[in-house]
Chains A and B, each alone.
Chain A
Amino acid sequence: GAGVSQSPRYKVTKRGQDVALRCDPISGHVSLYWYRQALGQGPEFLTYFNYEAQQDKSGLPNDRFSAERPEGSISTLTIQRTEQRDSAMYRCASSSFTSGIMGDTQYFGPGTRLTVL
């Protein structure tokens, strides 16, 4: 079956532009997570949703970052007024369980490689 998909796979933008990164979770998955991963480091938690409700956004670096999941399926991570330090791999993951339950496997998408010039 279809896994988690993300688009675009690669995004190059100029400093100051806004970008929107999309995540299509596995159909029926309840929880959706956003991470940022720098080279040589593990995924850094940004935010997560149960259905359409954003449960925790403590990992968002600043108010230029926002995320939504209005219908409890597709999610969009938006970065406004991008800066060079925003360059990273942005990964989305989904899970069939309400987050926090023991054994809830997170299935990751291939990521969006964002480069801010």
Chain B
Amino acid sequence: RKEVEQDPGPFNVPEGATVAFNCTYSNSASQSFFWYRQDCRKEPKLLMSVYSSGNEDGRFTAQLNRASQYISLLIRDSKLSDSATYLCVVNTNAGKSTFGDGTTLTVKP
């Protein structure tokens, strides 16, 4: 079993749709959590950090459930430009970063 697991998708949604991605992690010592976005053949880039109280950045909302060791990302009003692979990332206090294999999103006109 991988330390960080994501539904690989692909998720194919129309413009304007709301879509949610889930991520589970197995290391209970994990301390910080992130969502990264990776476009095809490009490097990953930080989308947002995930805080215990949940946080929102425009159309994006991230949630963390430490008890269930579960992270989510909600995208509202999807745009064509949201098409990408979304990577869940979990860090321990010791600094090791573990990435999930990503969920692929395609937003269609």
Complex Cα distance, B94 from A56, in Å, reads 8
A contact residues around B92 at 8 Å (CB): 100
Chain A contacts of B94 at CB under 8 A?
55-56, 100
A100-B32, A103-B49, A106-B46 known; A48-B95 Cβ under 8 A:
yes
Q: Which residue of B31, B42, B49, B96 is within 8 Å of A45 (Cβ)?
A: B96
Question: Nearest Cβ in chain A — how far from B29, in angstroms?
Answer: 11
Binding site secondary structure of chain B: strand
Interface contact A110-B43, CB-CB below 8 Å: yes
Q: Please determine whether A43 and B44 come into contact, CB atoms closer than 8 angstroms.
A: yes
The interface residues of chain A lying within 8 Å CB-to-CB of B42 are 110
Question: Is the pair B31, A100 in contact by a Cβ cutoff of 8 Å?
Answer: yes
A105–B46 touching, CB < 8 Å: yes
Count of chain B residues with Cβ under 8 Å from any Cβ of A?
22
Interface range, A side: 20 to 34
Q: Which of B85-109 contact A (CB under 8 A)?
A: 87, 91-102
Q: How far is the CB of A98 from chain B (nearest CB, A)?
A: 8
Check B59 for interface membership: any CB of A closer than 8 A.
no
A40 to B41, CA, bound (A): 11
Nearest residue in B to A102 (C-beta to C-beta)? B32
**Most A C-beta atoms less than 10 A away, residue of B87, B92, B96:** B96
A102's partner among B43, B45, B49, B96 (CB-CB below 8 A) is B49
Closest 3 CB pairs of A and B: A99-B95, A42-B99, A108-B43
